Amino acid sequence: MKDHTVFVLSDNLEHQTRICEQLATQQMKVVRCQLAHIDAMLNEADSGIEPELNFNRQALVVSWAAPTTELKCLIEYAAAKKCALVILVETLQVDNIAHLPFANQYVILPYRSDHDLSMWLQHAARLRENMDKVEQEIASLHQKLDDRKWIEKAKGTLMKMHRIDEEEAYKALRTSAMKSSQPIGLVAKNLMLTFDAIG
């Protein structure tokens, strides 16, 4: 985690100071920030002002008294920014944490000053990486389904228009895709959109 920038937020200044001091001793780049400024600070770190930083190498450590609406917002924000997230909560009860979103994307612990945050940040980064992979796989499956839909529509249209069988229609789409160096799903989609535009 030494290549990560760790943003530390807390609703308790004493806890925030302790966390920052602990992380600084582990040679991490630590940025103390407030809830109102987190978006600007994360965006600044990702804007090219400091090109070695990006969202994939940023982590949040949040210390909060209890699971509140603000904490839910921070969790949603971290998930949207794809940041590793470690949450320390003073009042940690099953009833409270059951309502927090994205439970499999961050580490949540009771607040203690003796936690090895480096270890938990590494675990949070692994959770984030695993979720990124799952999201990529889901996006890939959606794309494949979408491509399949367009290919089937385009095949059906070609079969009707040119009185050819399914194999010939698919071969025509594949040949067009190879000639244009485009995915077959995109060729099929463009073909159908063209037919729709013609009416």
CB contact at 8 A, 123 and 108: no
Please give the pLDDT value at position 187. 95
CB contact at 8 A, 6 and 45: no
Please give the pLDDT value at position 54. 47
Whole-angstrom Cα distance, residue 45 to residue 28? 15
Decide if domain 136-198 falls under CATH 2.60.40.1730. no
pTM assigned to the model: 0.73
Extents of the domains making up the chain: 5-115, 136-198
Please give the pLDDT value at position 95. 79
Whether 136-198 and 5-115 are alike in CATH topology: the answer is no
CATH architecture of 5-115: 3-Layer(aba) Sandwich (3.40)
Mean pLDDT over 16-41 rounds to 86
Asked whether the predicted pLDDT for residue 45 surpasses 80, the reply is no
Please give the pLDDT value at position 98. 80
Mean pLDDT over 61-68 rounds to 92
